[in-house]
Copies of this chain bind each other. A is one copy, B any other.
Amino acid sequence: MNKRIILASRPKGMASVDNFRVVDAEMPRPAEGETLLKTLYLSVDPYMRGRMNEGKSYVEPFELNEPITGGVVSEVVESRSENFRAGDIVAGYSGWELYSVAKGDAAATPTSLVKVDPSLAPVTTALGILGMPGLTAYFGLSEIGRPVAGETVVVSGAAGAVGMVVCQIARINGCRVVGIAGSDEKNKYLTGELGVAAAVNYKTSGDLRQSLKEACPDGVDVYFDNVGGHVSDAVMTLINRRARIVICGQISLYNLERPDVGPRPQLPLLVKSASMQGFIVSDYVARYPEGVGRLGRWLAEGKLKNAENIVEGFENAPRAFLGLFAGENTGKQLVRVAEPGGAK
């Protein structure tokens, strides 16, 4: 039997488990050129919150009563594509289902199926440090942040799937890195495991601007922003001349019911000749192989460390997703659905 998780209703404000429903479904059959996939791991990512709303943000919204779709690592259980065969482990974007079908094209698009080699790295890395979040960190920091050795790089959401990679790449670039996260446990991970120079807990720091000022005695040259809101307001008061602000995510805003209102950043940008740029990882799709290659080498050499937080069980995917907005995860948040090797 197949199961799927559908969008039962669109959230108003904070999303909840009631917006999702687990339903029984037909076992899908692959057509010519398609593959039948058994889901092993589901990825939950903050950007998916935008897709729960009506209307387009980056990407098209989820359809009501249709499966949630997202990043998935699967095992090919039946292939009618010449590019894949049964037993292959693949990463791609598909519905939250126990079994799904996918086109087996060889074309490189942001959503096409790619083979994962389990002998190079754990297959979960294809959804994290060697997948979308890792590439997001790599291209956002390198192309927009453009860090220079000796500069101060501040990262919000620093212990998340993207942030932890940004912190480490900034260190590889010879920068002084300051992380912002929402728990002392995360900050201990940042300073202890990742070698970040200072970590600020935005929930308990009291005067956040003052804490950041102490953590950044030379000001802020690059701000890699995953969260937005008042955390970013505080960072913006400390930017240096020609600072680069990378707008990667705004997780603090995704569940807001009202427009996001606060101090506008235009005046600090003006006075400091600074820049602020948004992006989505698929802006760099033509360079994914370069990014995966670079991240993979750093990981193999031990220059990059990985962290994952794995929730067990398909039915718990909505809870794992919602946990992102409560800041529950250190590192990449995943859901384990099945072990490979099971027969169809």
Cβ of A291 within 8 Å of any chain B Cβ, yes or no, is no
Given A262-B261, A264-B264, A247:B270 Cβ within 8 A: yes
Shortest CB–CB separation between residue A254 and chain B, in angstroms? Answer: 9
* A267 close to B280 (CB less than 8 A): no
The answer to whether B266 touches A273 (Cβ under 8 A) is: no
Complex: how many Å from CA A273 to CA B249? 11
**Does A278 contact B250, Cβ atoms closer than 8 Å?**
no
Query: A259 to B269, Cβ gap below 8 A?
Result: no
Cβ of A277 under 8 Å from chain B: yes
Is A326 an interface position by the 8 A CB rule? no
| CB atoms of A264 and B58 under 8 A apart | no
Contacts of A265 in B (CB 8 A): 264-266, 276
Given A274-B277, A275-B275, A278-B272, are A263 and B263 neighbors across the interface (CB < 8 Å)? no
Q: How many copies does the complex hold?
A: 2
The answer to whether A271 and B278 touch across the interface, beta carbons within 8 angstroms, is yes
Chain B residues near A278 (CB, 8 Å)?
266, 268-275
Our pick among B248, B264, B275, B279 for the contact of A277 (Cβ within 8 Å) is B275
Task: Assess whether A57 is interfacial by the CB under 8 Å rule.
Answer: yes
* Count of interface residues, chain A, beta-carbon cutoff 8 Å: 33
Contact across chains for B261 and A261 when beta carbons are under 8 A apart: yes
Also in contact, A261 and B263, with CB within 8 A (given A273-B279, A276-B276, A279-B273): yes
Contact with B along A271-302 (1 / 0, CB 8 A): 11111111110010000000000000000000
A88 within 8 A of B: no
Q: How many angstroms from the CA of A291 to the CA of B74 in the assembled complex?
A: 58
B264 touches A260 (CB 8 A): yes
> In the bound complex, do residue A57 and residue B264 qualify as a contact, i.e. CB atoms below 8 Å apart?
no
CA distance A298 to B96 in the complex (A): 60
Contacts of A273 in B (CB 8 A): 277-280, 283
Indicate whether A228 reaches chain B with its CB closer than 8 angstroms.
yes
A225 within 8 Å of B (CB atoms): yes
Binding site for B on A (CB under 8 A): 57-58, 225, 228, 232, 247-250, 253, 259-280, 283
Q: List 16 A-B residue pairs with CB atoms under 8 Å apart, sorted by A's residue number.
A: A225-B266, A232-B266, A247-B270, A248-B270, A260-B263, A261-B261, A266-B278, A268-B278, A269-B276, A269-B278, A270-B279, A271-B278, A272-B278, A273-B278, A273-B280, A274-B278
